[in-house]
């Protein structure tokens, strides 16, 4: 009876397909063990090579997934940076508009104070006498 055992955890299976699935899902290496023959036999080496092939495929799959995730995160980061730059521009425009309104408000307040004063009121009344 041939059994497949994971070299990284306690997983065991009698079916090669299940062992391959475990290797793909976890990235672990499943090695075939033949109870009737020594592990160094002709078929034992072939099974270890198959396990290494499964490991290589799982590793390449993991690297591809990580590269895809990295690219996705980089694009997301670029989007966030672009949004942050846009917000900074809006903030600067808002601050400039606020300063302009403050200046205009101070100018109107000074004019109002002048018109309330005796000199300003007298000039305003004289302009209506004509």
pLDDT, tens digit, 9 for 90 and up, residues 19-39: 888 887 887 888 877 654 444
**Average of per-residue pLDDT across 1-12:** 78
In sequence order, the 6+-apart residues with CB closer than 8 A to the CB of 124 are 115
CA gap 24, 47 in Å, rounded: 16
Average pLDDT across the chain, whole number = 78
- pLDDT winner (highest mean) among 37-46, 94-103, 118-127: 94-103
pTM of the model: 0.35
**Average of per-residue pLDDT across 69-91:** 85
């Amino acid at each position: 009876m041939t059994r497949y055992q994971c070299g990284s955890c306690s997983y065991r299976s009698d079916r090669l397909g299940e062992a391959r699935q475990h290797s793909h899902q976890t990235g672990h290496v499943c090695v075939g063990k033949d109870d009737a023959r020594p592990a160094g036999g002709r078929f034992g080496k072939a099974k270890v090579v198959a396990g290494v092939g499964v490991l290589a495929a799982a590793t390449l799959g993991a690297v591809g997934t990580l590269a895809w995730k990295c690219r996705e995160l980089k694009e997301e980061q670029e989007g966030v940076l672009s949004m942050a730059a846009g917000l900074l521009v809006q903030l600067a425009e808002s601050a400039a508009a606020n300063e302009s309104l403050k200046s205009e408000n101070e100018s109107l307040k000074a004019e109002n104070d002048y018109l309330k004063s005796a000199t300003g009121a007298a000039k305003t009344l004289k302009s209506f006498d004509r």
